[in-house]
Structure 1
Amino acid sequence: MLIVKQYIIDKNTLAISPATAIEHHAVVLEKTQTIYVKQTPLEIIQYNCIIGGSTFEGRCLAAQQLIKRKQKVPILISEQPRLCVFPTQSPKNFECRWIVANHVCAVTAYEETDSSNLQTTIHFQSIKFHLMESPYQIKQQNLKAFVLHEALRQKTIIPI
Structure 2
Amino acid sequence: MGRIQPGRSGWKEDIVGCSQMQNRWIASILYGMKPAGQCVLWWELRRAPYNLVLAITGLITITILQVAGAKLLRPGEDAIEPMALFIFVPLYAIAANVAYTLGWATELMWSGGDPTRTEAFRSKIFYLGLFISVGITLVPAFLVPVLWVILQVR
TM > 0.5 between the two? Answer: no
Normalising by the residue count of structure 2, what TM-score does the alignment of the two structures yield? 0.27
Q: Which has the higher contact order (CA 8 A, sep 6+)?
A: 2
| Structure label with greater radius of gyration | 2
More helix as a share of residues: 2
